[in-house]
Amino acid sequence: MAYSKLARTSDPMTSHDAAAGIGLKLTARAQQFLAGLEKLGQATANEVAVSVAGGNIGLVGSIRRRASDLDELGLIRVCGRRVCSVTGKPVSCYEIVPQKKTQLELF
């Protein structure tokens, strides 16, 4: 899961209302994936994960798995297929989906 619930099912309705007002809260790994993809532009999930994890090989799998979650949320999208520089195999390549500006951001 790339996001965390902001209110528990046992919380009062006022907590659920407040959580709905806050919006989507991405997990740390999902945020790392987005930041890495923004830096790289277009990249495979493994390329992003290796770039973000640095020398910590244990993080690669945790970060890589966020690609499908973020794709489902509409924050990133598949932009084609190419050979991954990490695995040497043809895989999907991702890019960040441009977000629409709100009326307040236009002025």
Q: Report if residue 17 sits inside a domain.
A: no
Q: Report if residue 9 sits inside a domain.
A: no
Q: pLDDT averaged over the chain?
A: 84
Whole-angstrom distance, CA of residue 91 vs CA of residue 38: 19
- How many domains would you assign to the chain? 1
Residue 87 structural domain: 27-97
Q: What is the pLDDT of residue 105?
A: 57
pLDDT tens, residue by residue, 58-77: 999 999 999 999 999 999 99
Per the model's pLDDT, the better-predicted residue between 70 and 3 turns out to be 70
Q: What is the pLDDT of residue 44?
A: 98
Q: What is the pLDDT of residue 6?
A: 53
Of 68, 31, 36, which Cα lies nearest the Cα of 49? 36
Per the model's pLDDT, the better-predicted residue between 87 and 24 turns out to be 87
Q: Report if residue 20 sits inside a domain.
A: no
Instruction: Supply the CATH number for residue 61's domain.
Output: 1.10.10.10
Instruction: Judge whether 38 and 51 are in contact, CB under 8 Å.
Output: no
Per the model's pLDDT, the better-predicted residue between 56 and 8 turns out to be 56
Residue 41: pLDDT above 90?
yes
